[in-house]
């Protein structure tokens, strides 16, 4: 006769604590089969499965736990983390909205804010981030994400919220990054903006946006070598993204390095071939280099994507007058 449920439970916990996740997982699988009406066991199994990278099976275990107990907050949160990674935002929203009917939980409200922001439900997202903060006033990620939602409509409020996040965790790299960019946008203390962007890079050197923001700031300050370095670092970190290439191309266009600017615009356009703005920028460089025919072709293509693109119409009119 095999071990009973209690001894199997103890063995599973011991193996998990020892880091032997494969054997622990087998024990949790046996327990989950024996105790199919216990949501806690399904959640323990799902947690180990997540650590092993078996997210499909983990999502089924979390879903089973919720079918037994719709108010199981651990299962709702665990399943939501998996679904958020898959960008199944509508499903995540349903799971989390249901969870709020059973318990007020800061993480549930925070995750609900994240997915509602993705779904374009900005007011609902703000409300849920605020609900998370009422339950957990030291939730720096909630302050940060709420701050992101205020960047355009109220930069001052966004700045306040980023500072609150940093009061809680002074080493929170995303808050340093976004606070630095907010300060750049507000045209205030550029030295403070530079400090926060540099601090963000120290804490998280692999984030391309911190380098992009810093490059823009240095460009604005007239420190072209520092701007070039920052833009090149962003390119190295995100070689498959169009935006870092197009931004550096714009910088090179300003420094009259038109051959390199053209090359980068072409690379960016190969990544995002339907971007009318990129087509117009490339056409502008081609015109400066004396290649009016190719410039005209790109402008016509841009107008096929955006028929009333003002810059494309203006440049095409100028070429027609030549």
pLDDT tens across 278-301, in order? 999 999 999 999 999 999 999 999
- Between CA 168 and CA 176, with CA 170 as vertex, the angle to 5 degrees is 110
Average pLDDT over residues 96-118: 96
Walk me through the domains of the chain, giving residue ranges and CATH numbers: 1-86 (1.25.40.10), 241-322 (1.25.40.10)
pTM: 0.87
Q: What pLDDT, on the 0 to 100 scale, is given for residue 320?
A: 83
The tokens describing 125, both together, are 């997202």
Instruction: Give φ, ψ of 152 to 5 degrees.
Output: -85, -45
Check pLDDT > 50 for residue 1: no
- Whether the Cβ atoms of residue 246 and residue 263 lie closer than 8 Å to each other: no
Check pLDDT > 90 for residue 71: yes
The tokens describing 42, both together, are 């399904």
Which has more confidence, 247 or 322?
Answer: 247
- Whether the Cβ atoms of residue 76 and residue 95 lie closer than 8 Å to each other: yes
The tokens describing 68, both together, are 């037994």
Average pLDDT over residues 49-59: 95
Q: What pLDDT, on the 0 to 100 scale, is given for residue 169?
A: 98
CA-based torsion, 70, 72, 73, 78: positive or negative:
negative
* Distance (Å, whole) CA 275 – CA 252: 20
* Distance (Å, whole) CA 218 – CA 225: 8
Average pLDDT over residues 30-44: 92
pLDDT band at 257 (very low <50, low <70, confident <90, very high): very high
Condensed to tens digits (0 to 9), the pLDDT of residues 12-21 reads 989 999 999 9
- Whether the Cβ atoms of residue 25 and residue 53 lie closer than 8 Å to each other: no
From the centroid of its chain, how far is CA 253?
Answer: 29
Helix (H) or strand (E) holding 215: helix 208-221
* Distance (Å, whole) CA 111 – CA 105: 10
Nearest-Å Rg of the Cα atoms of the chain is 26
Q: What pLDDT, on the 0 to 100 scale, is given for residue 8?
A: 87
The tokens describing 277, both together, are 């703005």
Share the mean pLDDT of the chain. Answer: 94
- Whether the Cβ atoms of residue 183 and residue 193 lie closer than 8 Å to each other: yes
- Whether the Cβ atoms of residue 295 and residue 319 lie closer than 8 Å to each other: yes
* Distance (Å, whole) CA 72 – CA 86: 22
Check pLDDT > 80 for residue 175: yes
Q: What pLDDT, on the 0 to 100 scale, is given for residue 163?
A: 98
Q: What pLDDT, on the 0 to 100 scale, is given for residue 23?
A: 93
Condensed to tens digits (0 to 9), the pLDDT of residues 177-218 reads 999 999 999 887 899 999 999 999 999 999 999 999 999 999
* Distance (Å, whole) CA 177 – CA 215: 12
CA distances, 145 to each of 48, 81, 96, 163, 269 (Å): 29, 16, 18, 12, 31
């Amino acid at each position: 006769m095999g071990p009973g449920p209690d001894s199997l439970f103890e063995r599973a916990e011991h193996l998990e604590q020892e880091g032997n996740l494969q054997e622990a997982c087998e024990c949790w699988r046996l327990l989950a089969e024996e105790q199919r009406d216990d949501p806690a066991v399904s959640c323990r199994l799902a947690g180990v499965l997540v650590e092993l990278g078996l997210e499909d099976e983990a999502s089924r275990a979390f879903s089973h736990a919720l079918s037994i107990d719709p108010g199981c907050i651990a299962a709702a949160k665990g399943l939501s983390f998996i679904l958020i990674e898959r960008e199944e935002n509508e499903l995540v929203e349903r799971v989390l909205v249901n969870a709020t009917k059973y318990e007020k939980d800061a993480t549930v409200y925070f995750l609900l804010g994240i997915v509602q922001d993705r779904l374009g439900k900005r007011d609902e997202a703000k409300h849920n981030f605020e609900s998370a903060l009422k339950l957990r006033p030291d939730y720096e990620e909630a302050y940060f994400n709420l701050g992101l939602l205020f960047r355009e409509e109220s930069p001052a409020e966004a700045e306040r919220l980023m500072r609150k996040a940093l009061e809680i965790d002074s080493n929170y790299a995303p808050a340093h990054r976004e606070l630095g960019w907010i300060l750049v946008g507000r045209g205030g203390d550029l030295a403070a903006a530079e400090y926060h962007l540099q601090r963000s890079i120290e804490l998280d050197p692999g984030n391309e946006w911190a380098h992009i923001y810093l490059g823009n700031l240095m460009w604005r300050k007239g420190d072209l070598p520092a701007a070039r370095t920052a833009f090149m670092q962003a390119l190295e970190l995100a070689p498959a993204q169009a935006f870092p290439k197009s931004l550096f191309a714009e910088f090179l266009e300003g420094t009259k390095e038109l051959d390199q600017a053209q090359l980068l615009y072409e690379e960016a356009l190969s990544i995002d071939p339907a971007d009318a703005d990129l087509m117009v920028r490339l056409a502008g460089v081609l015109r400066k280099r004396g290649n009016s025919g190719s410039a005209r072709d790109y402008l016509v293509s841009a107008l096929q994507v955006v028929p009333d693109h003002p810059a494309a119409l203006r440049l095409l009119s100028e070429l027609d007058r030549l």
